[in-house]
Amino acid sequence: MGPLRRPLAKPPPNLLPGALILSSTTDAFSHPHDEVRTLIRQLFRLSPENLKPTVDMKSAFFELTFNVMMRMIAGKRYYGENVTDLGEARRFQAIINDSRSGTGVNLVDFLPIVRWLGFNGTEKRLMALQEKRDKFMQELIQGHRKISSDAAASSGEKKRTIIEILLSLHQTEPDYYTDESIRNLMLAGTDTSAGTMEWAMSLLLNNPQVLKKAQTEIDDRVGRDRLIDESDLLELSYLHCIINETLRIQPAAPLLIPHESSQDCTVAGYHIPRGTMLLVNLWAIQNDPNIWEDPRKFKPERFEGLEGTRDGFKLMPFGSGRRGCPGESLAMRVVGLALGSLIQCFDWERVGVEMVDMTEGTGPGLAKCRQRPTMVNLLSQI
């Protein structure tokens, strides 16, 4: 447990982003809803009737998740339509692109001695990037702080963004709700949610019979006269099975988040000194043939009847216990709404005859989509 976590070992319930969103903003889910509708509208315009254009799904999911998170955090979108400040959007996009390209293995983490040999370029680059991110987020915080100081903003009006909520809570619990904790929200849950949707589409493209079964479930439970809404997700059990099976085969964080031993200990006969970085090989657990039958086969049916359970430590894509991901509920809802909407509205095919490459780091990239004939009238109205 790091020095920042120690005084926050038992934080107030509202500190968790998921709890903040659900307890303090009644219309919080309107942002994912709006962004998914925007994506569907864009795809509808790109795919005239009876044509099957090629769609860059990787970029679509990436922009969707970042727009959702930043609208929740700061009330702004930085990709696609209705961007209010192009200069600010370009700054944000540059920071995100640098952040994504800067990820990977840092040799110093595994061989600390090489730090003394001058192999610390990655750390210096990441520290410089962190300064850029912090400066950008601090400007957003200051902007919200200025607005909240106005008399009109203090009249009991409902808070609209996570920054506004945290700044309000800062007044009563400044040790918990700091500017630093707000700044750290910038990248929360974005790449992981986008990656899960990418892998789900890859698996569906390689298994069209599963895609067809999911479409049938949605047609039966939701119908063809309206689009999927959040309230429908609880009734779409097979869609949940698809998401769980995707998270099992291709977990968004195959090694979870690095932990550190707070004291000397012995695990399975191995001595682990205090201060050691600890990694959990989640991919190995969730693809272990001793635990899962035919683990590399995409079989959503294995989760039928197990909705809402994780079956102990066999499946834990969001981690477990006190170190589990606080955004699990939000991520499942966003992924469910986006994936369900794409399945409901369009027919999907691979670009070529070859199966989509499931090698780590590739993803589907491109896919062909066509308006489902039964959905054309409805899609033309959104």
Per-residue confidence of the chain (382 residues) as pLDDT tens digits? Answer: 444 444 444 445 444 444 444 444 445 557 899 999 999 999 999 887 767 889 999 999 999 999 999 999 999 999 998 898 999 999 999 999 988 776 666 666 667 766 666 566 677 788 888 899 999 999 999 999 888 766 444 555 556 788 988 888 888 888 888 898 888 877 666 778 999 999 999 999 999 999 999 999 999 999 999 999 999 999 999 999 999 999 999 998 899 888 889 999 998 899 999 999 888 999 999 999 999 999 999 999 999 987 656 666 789 999 888 778 888 888 999 999 999 999 999 999 999 888 988 876 555 578 999 999 999 999 988 8
Cβ atoms of 300 and 210 closer than 8 Å: yes
Domains recognised in the chain with CATH numbers: 28-379 (1.10.630.10)
**Residues in the annotated binding site:** 325
- Alpha helices (runs of H) in 75-120, residue ranges in sequence order: 86-101, 107-110
Helix (H, G, I), strand (E, B) or coil at 35: helix
**Residues in the annotated binding site for heme:** 325
How far is residue 297's CA from residue 205's CA, in Å, rounded to a whole number? 14
Helix (H, G, I), strand (E, B) or coil at 369: strand
pTM score, whole prediction: 0.87
E strands present in 255-349 = 259-260, 265-267, 270-272, 277-278, 346-349
